[in-house]
A and B are shown apart, each in its own frame.
Chain A
Amino acid sequence: MKILLMGNPNVGKSAFFSRLTGVRVIVSNYPGTTVEFTKGYLKLGEEMAEVIDVPGTYTLEPTSKAEEVATEMLKDGDLVIDVVDATNLERNLFLTMQLLERDIPVIVALNVWDDTKHRGIDINVKKLEQLLGVPVVPTVAVTGEGMKELVSRIHEAASPPVSHRTRDERWAAVGRIVEQVQTVTHRHHTWLEHLGDASVKPFPGIPIAVLVLLTSFMIIRFIGESLIVYISGPLFNNLWAPLMMRLSEFLGSGGFLHDILVGKLISGEIDFTQSFGILTTGLFIPFGVVLPYVLAFYLVLGFLEDLGYLPRLAVLLDTLMHRLGMHGYAIIPTLLGLGCNVPGILATRILESKRERFIVATLISIAVPCAALQAMVIGLVGGEGWHYVAIVYGTLFVVWIILGLILNLTVKGFSPELLIEIPPYRLPSPRILASKLWMRILGFLKEAIPIVMLGMFVITILYALNVFDYIANFAAPVVSGLLGLPREATAALVIGFLRKDMAVGMLGTLSLSANQLVIGSVVLAMFFPCIASFVVLARELRLKGMLAATGIMIVASLVVGSLLNLIL
């Protein structure tokens, strides 16, 4: 049996899904968190039922790609758990009506039940059940309240005989039901609601946004640096280094296996940033440098997501972003891209038009550096002075703006206007925050470790075979002539295709000047995407879009790199 979890966006379907199946999925307080479907299993008596978390939709007449996915799914489901936001009954029931008209059994979960009381909403559940003709169970997906009852009543799910209605008839039916089952008593705004309203007003909304972004940046840096200085640094230097020295001696301080595992010794010692062995630099980059920043970034992002701040930021930035061919909601994929370009590009599915998705995905892959790359840049370029780091970030930001302006003028079609629901502010649940952080960290490690290890291996082999030398001869006019980098930097640009953090690490072995480090970092950030983002880019933009994006990328990175070389 295939059970679909369907409902309006941001009603708690994913939180519900995690509770039912034990499968972790991302839960965030903004509409459009889920853009793909996830499968899980639920034991129903003797049978294992397949449960599917579906992207949210307001209607079965889809208006975006994520909604299309939702409507498509309905075709091969056997039963629908319709998750309804109890604090927004009228609008949610419109979709319920559409579902009831289909020939599929439905059971309604009246979710966010905990919020109804303090909002002064009273719903007569028995009556609602009677009027709809299907079971209705109040639930709280974040705590699990009501889940057992819902599961025990799944077999009662029904498909009452309802004839197909026009939209007006449907609304009329919804209106009659709501009138009979719901009473709303007037109450005053809570402080969270006041804060919510304030943050979408130009004043104090804009100062609040500046404050939020600056504070976020400072917290990320503080947590990231602290983890490196007090935890990962000491662990590597005091514990791991001696162990590796022993291994090095054991392997005879040289030779092929030694070079693969331990790497080169730098004046007789292991240098985690220079040695480039699988067990030295190969572990140091992902665990020692990048993980602390990835953790810090996702902790702060998770907090902002669960609070419900991101849609408000979208409102504030909408006017600016329209100039760049996007609407304000594109800030969500863009911010996700600052963690890792892959989920960022995937999240462009919440945008309605193909043109906008192309522009946003292209801008992410060119001008939005992922956390791994940023961590390495901060580590490497930061050593030369903070203003150099500022030049890297500043350049990428300017590129984002200028490229956006250009794409907006040249890409055909138009970008639709902002039309989004702003969720209420909610105090983030520590459990959801922790679960989300864990998922993202695990995702990072699963993806990074094998590729970094493989990368280290490949680098050693390619050096041993002189392949880089061969490529460098070809690339010298561009790399040295245009970008002003030594020809050895070609190897880093090539490895950038595997992982950007590793590539920045390679720049660190070339004793570059501060300006060269800046140029190298910027070009690496903009140039060809890493293999993982390349794959999603190809999937989301199709071959043609991907080729166009790649072309823009190569041209833009060379132009910007050469300009920096001239200016600096």
Chain B
Amino acid sequence: MISNRPITVAQMKAGERGRVIQITGGHGLVRRLEAMGIRPGKQITKVSSMLMRGPVTIQVNEAQLALGFGVARRILVELESK
């Protein structure tokens, strides 16, 4: 067992899966993300990211969400070992 250091969603690679441990950001952003289904404890999978700090697409439950790079950097996840 390797204990993973938390990384941000922006740093995840396409296809990787992780569990959200924290969202660093203003109250508004936390609430907005939460209402869309992203909150601590949720398992997410990264689908893709665009070049040049473009948006990141992730899968949460059955939904896909696109997040700006800045938002993706504020979501900390713990990678799941395969």
Question: Inside 8 A of A205's CB, which chain B residues have their CB?
Answer: 48
- Given A91-B37, A417-B71, residue A311 in contact with residue B66 (CB < 8 A): yes
B55 to chain A, nearest CB (A): 5
- Given A61-B31, A167-B34, A318-B50, residue A417 in contact with residue B62 (CB < 8 A): no
Q: Mark A20-62, 1 if CB is under 8 A from B, else 0.
A: 0000000000000000000000000000000000000011010
Question: Inside 8 A of A94's CB, which chain B residues have their CB?
Answer: 35, 37
Q: Determine whether the beta carbon of A319 is less than 8 Å from that of B53.
A: yes
Q: Determine whether the beta carbon of B62 is less than 8 Å from that of A58.
A: no
Q: Is A389 among interface residues, defined by CB-CB distance under 8 A?
A: no
Q: Mark B51-71, 1 if CB is under 8 A from A, else 0.
A: 111110100111111111111
Q: Determine whether the beta carbon of B66 is less than 8 Å from that of A171.
A: no
Q: Determine whether the beta carbon of A201 is less than 8 Å from that of B61.
A: no
Question: Inside 8 A of B51's CB, which chain A residues have their CB?
Answer: 202, 319
Q: How far is the CA of A568 from the CA of B60 in the complex (A)?
A: 54
Q: How far is the CA of A314 from the CA of B64 in the complex (A)?
A: 14
From A419-427, A458-466, A517-525, give the one contacting chain B. Answer: A419-427
A453 to chain B, nearest CB (A): 45
Q: Is A270 among interface residues, defined by CB-CB distance under 8 A?
A: no
Q: Is A96 among interface residues, defined by CB-CB distance under 8 A?
A: no
Q: Determine whether the beta carbon of A201 is less than 8 Å from that of B68.
A: no
Q: Determine whether the beta carbon of B55 is less than 8 Å from that of A318.
A: yes
Q: How far is the CA of A327 from the CA of B55 in the complex (A)?
A: 10
- Given A200-B47, A200-B57, residue A87 in contact with residue B32 (CB < 8 A): no
Contacting B66 at CB < 8 Å: which of A201, A319, A419? A419
- Given A197-B47, A200-B47, A200-B48, residue A418 in contact with residue B36 (CB < 8 A): no
Q: Is A63 among interface residues, defined by CB-CB distance under 8 A?
A: yes
Question: Inside 8 A of A328's CB, which chain B residues have their CB?
Answer: 55, 66
Count of residues in A whose CB is under 8 Å from the partner chain: 36
Q: Is A226 among interface residues, defined by CB-CB distance under 8 A?
A: no
Contacting A171 at CB < 8 Å: which of B39, B47, B65, B70? B39
- Given A327-B68, A418-B68, residue A319 in contact with residue B34 (CB < 8 A): no
Q: How far is the CA of A316 from the CA of B55 in the complex (A)?
A: 8
Q: Is A440 among interface residues, defined by CB-CB distance under 8 A?
A: no
Q: How far is the CA of A462 from the CA of B70 in the complex (A)?
A: 57
Interface residue tally on B, bucketed by range:
20 to 34
Interface residues of B in 29-45 (CB under 8 A from A): 31-37, 39
Q: Determine whether the beta carbon of A420 is less than 8 Å from that of B71.
A: no
Q: How far is the CA of A424 from the CA of B67 in the complex (A)?
A: 16
Q: Determine whether the beta carbon of A201 is less than 8 Å from that of B39.
A: no
Q: How far is the CA of A171 from the CA of B48 in the complex (A)?
A: 28
Q: Determine whether the beta carbon of B36 is less than 8 Å from that of A417.
A: no
Q: Determine whether the beta carbon of A422 is less than 8 Å from that of B37.
A: no
Q: How far is the CA of A94 from the CA of B34 in the complex (A)?
A: 10
A202 to chain B, nearest CB (A): 5
Contacting A315 at CB < 8 Å: which of B28, B34, B35, B50? B50
Q: Determine whether the beta carbon of B54 is less than 8 Å from that of A421.
A: no
Q: How far is the CA of A200 from the CA of B14 in the complex (A)?
A: 11
Interface residues of A in 470-513 (CB under 8 A from B): none
Q: How far is the CA of A416 from the CA of B57 in the complex (A)?
A: 17
Q: Determine whether the beta carbon of B50 is less than 8 Å from that of A202.
A: yes
Q: Determine whether the beta carbon of A420 is less than 8 Å from that of B47.
A: no
Question: Inside 8 A of A319's CB, which chain B residues have their CB?
Answer: 50-55
Question: Inside 8 A of B60's CB, which chain A residues have their CB?
Answer: 91
Interface residues of A in 304-333 (CB under 8 A from B): 311, 314-316, 318-319, 327-328
Q: Determine whether the beta carbon of A422 is less than 8 Å from that of B65.
A: yes
Q: How far is the CA of A95 from the CA of B36 in the complex (A)?
A: 10
B38 to chain A, nearest CB (A): 9
Question: Inside 8 A of A167's CB, which chain B residues have their CB?
Answer: 31, 34
Q: How far is the CA of A311 from the CA of B55 in the complex (A)?
A: 12
Question: Inside 8 A of A90's CB, which chain B residues have their CB?
Answer: 37, 61
Question: Inside 8 A of A201's CB, which chain B residues have their CB?
Answer: 14, 47-48
Question: Inside 8 A of A91's CB, which chain B residues have their CB?
Answer: 35-37, 60-61, 63
Q: Determine whether the beta carbon of B68 is less than 8 Å from that of A421.
A: no
Question: Inside 8 A of A418's CB, which chain B residues have their CB?
Answer: 55, 66-68, 71
Q: How far is the CA of A121 from the CA of B62 in the complex (A)?
A: 10
Q: Mark A284-321, 1 if CB is under 8 A from B, else 0.
A: 00000000000000000000000000010011101100
Nearest to B36 among chain A residues (CB) is A58
- Given A91-B36, A328-B55, residue A421 in contact with residue B71 (CB < 8 A): no
Question: Inside 8 A of A58's CB, which chain B residues have their CB?
Answer: 32, 35-36
Q: How far is the CA of A61 from the CA of B27 in the complex (A)?
A: 12
Q: Determine whether the beta carbon of A419 is less than 8 Å from that of B57.
A: no
- Given A197-B47, A318-B55, A319-B51, residue A59 in contact with residue B35 (CB < 8 A): yes
Contacting B67 at CB < 8 Å: which of A63, A119, A197, A417? A417
Q: Is A196 among interface residues, defined by CB-CB distance under 8 A?
A: yes
Q: How far is the CA of A95 from the CA of B51 in the complex (A)?
A: 34
Q: How far is the CA of A91 from the CA of B35 in the complex (A)?
A: 7
Q: How far is the CA of A315 from the CA of B58 in the complex (A)?
A: 12
Q: Determine whether the beta carbon of A63 is less than 8 Å from that of B65.
A: no
A selection of 9 A-B contacts at a CB cut-off of 8 Å is A58-B35, A59-B31, A63-B28, A88-B62, A197-B47, A315-B66, A316-B50, A419-B65, A420-B66
Sample of 14 further A-B pairs with CB below 8 A, known A63-B28, A318-B55, A421-B66: A63-B31, A88-B61, A91-B61, A91-B63, A94-B35, A200-B48, A200-B50, A201-B47, A205-B48, A319-B50, A328-B55, A417-B68, A418-B67, A421-B64
- B positions within 8 Å CB-CB of A: 14, 28, 31-37, 39, 47-48, 50-55, 57, 60-71
- A positions within 8 Å CB-CB of B: 58-59, 61, 63, 87-88, 90-91, 94-95, 119, 121, 167, 171, 196-197, 200-202, 205, 311, 314-316, 318-319, 327-328, 416-422, 424
Among all A-B residue pairs, the 5 with the closest Cβ atoms: A417-B68, A58-B35, A59-B35, A91-B37, A422-B64
